[in-house]
Structure 1
Amino acid sequence: MKLSRFAAFSSALLLGGVLALTGAGQAHATDTAQSLDYVALGDSYSSGVGAGSYDSASGNCLRSTRAYPQLWAAAHSPSSFAFTACAGARTGDVTATQLDPLNSATDLVSVTIGGNDAGFSDVMTTCVLQSEASCLARIATARAYVDSTLPGQLDQVYSAISAKAPAAQVVVLGYPRFYKLGGSCLIGLSEKERAAINGASEYLNAATAKRAADHGYDFADVVPVFTGHEICSGAAWLHSVNWTNIVESYHPNAAGQSGGYLPTLTAHA
Structure 2
Amino acid sequence: MRDHFTLKRLLLGFAVLALLSLGLFAQEYRLFERAWFNLQQSGKSLAAERDILLSGYQVEIEAKVIEGLDDDVSALTYDPDRNSLFTVTNQKAQLIELSLDGELLRRIDLHGFGDAEAVEYISKGLYVISDERRQRLIKVWVDDSTTELHADQAQQFSLSIGRNGNKGFEGLAYDSAGQRLFVAKERDPMRIYEIHGFPQRDPQQPFAVHVVDDQQRDAGLFVRDLSSLQFDERSGHLLALSDESRLVLELNVEGKPISSLSLLSGRNGLKRSVPQGEGIAMDNQGVLYLVSEPNLFYRFKKPGA
TM-score with structure 2 length normalisation?
0.26
Which of the pair has more CA radius of gyration?
A: 2
Tell me which protein shows more strand as a share of its residues.
2
Tell me which protein shows more helix as a share of its residues.
1
TM-score with structure 1 length normalisation?
0.28
